[in-house]
Amino acid sequence: MKILSREDLRNQLKSGEIAPVYLLFGEETYLRDLAAKTIADKALTDSSLREFNDTIFSLADSKIEYALAAAEQLPMISSRRVVRITEVVVSATGKKDSLKEDDEAILARYLARPSESSVVIFVADEIDKRRKISKLLLEKTVAVEFTPLSEVELATWTKGKLKEQNAEIEDRALRHLVGLVGSNLRKLTAEAEKLAVAALPDSLITFDLVEQLVPNSRELSNFELTDYLLAKNRPRALQILHKILDDGAEPLMLLGLIANNFHRLFLAKELMRNGVERNEVARAMRLPYGKQEEFLATARRADAERLAQNLKRIAATDLAIKTSQATPRLQIEMLVCELTQ
């Protein structure tokens, strides 16, 4: 049972290979859905009546036998028919299943002898690989898993999307954009397109433009980490840290966001100590209304001298990572332990 990567699928399609049945699954739903469309486009290049040969069945409101029956039909004035079966769910407990064990017999019968004139594409929202019906799909189809992109891949994707929009982005702005949005490629693409329009007429996206227009999708987790660091709650801080890193965040990027949180808290603390009004502090920190109270309460609780010490320690960790004195993940774990002493 070989599971292909998205690169494997791309190479197969480039060489003209089109399988009779695909299973597309994984966390990266934007690329998964794009792959389903690409397969359909390749399969129907000679179809003059695409609307009759490209059918979509959602298992949320349709049965698998109807979709497979459509796949058995001959295409209309075309060499192939495409049947996309979406919202496929085979969950760990079975409670959320849209493809059920009762469907196994009809599914196995079709997969044993798939129609030569059809391309069936299963688009799965969830596939528990331990389930019997999942194993059947994985073994009898061309299965492709779409894993989240790394931050380097996300940056490359973003630059490519911006190039399509005739826009450019500063390196610092690009790192900041990826850091704010995270691994949600669908949202990252939408934000890149929004920035390309906002950057007109110069079409150069700056750090300040990203800061103004892009909401911080990772801010909650990162600020939660900062809160636990200030509270010296080492177990929870390490738990949040590992979750963020395991979600694909680059240690150096995460360190920059932590530094930014501490820097903003330090500035807010100093402004409040100097008698600056709450609304002015919130405006200076560019705080969304819904997050103002939490941020300012944290700043009030924090000790200014300790914040300054923490910033120095963060800067030392940044230098250590860049000079490769130890692995970046180990360095940031050591930092968390030191900040929670």
CA distances from 59 to 109, 234, 261, 281 (A): 18, 45, 44, 51
Q: Three-class SS of residue 126? A: strand
Query: Counting beta carbons within 10 angstroms of the beta carbon of residue 110, is it exposed (0 to 12), middle (13 to 18) or buried (19 or more)?
Result: buried
Q: pLDDT class for 184, splitting at 50, 70, 90?
A: confident
β partners of residue 88? 124
Reported as half-sphere exposure (CB side, CA atoms, 13 A), residue 332 has a value of 26
- Give residue-wise pLDDT tens across range 255-300: 888 888 888 888 888 888 888 887 777 777 776 655 677 777 778 8
Residue 319 has pLDDT above 90, yes or no: no
For residues 131-141, give the mean pLDDT: 95
Residue 21 tokens read as 């049945």
Q: Would you state the torsion angle of the CA atoms of residues 167, 260, 333, 229, taken in this order, to the nearest 10 degrees?
A: -140
For residues 230 and 302, the answer to whether their CB atoms sit within 8 Å is yes
Q: Beta-strand (E) ranges in 200-270?
A: 204-205
Provide the pLDDT for residue 322: 79
Could you read off the pLDDT of 89-112 as tens digits, one per residue? 998 888 889 999 899 999 999 999
Phi-psi region of 330 (alpha: psi -120 to 50; beta: other; left: phi over 0): alpha
Q: Is residue 233 within 8 Å of residue 341, measured between CB atoms?
A: no
Nearest to 71 by CA among 31, 38, 111, 16: 111
Task: Tell me if the pTM is above 0.95.
Answer: no
pLDDT in tens, 242-259: 877 776 677 777 888 888
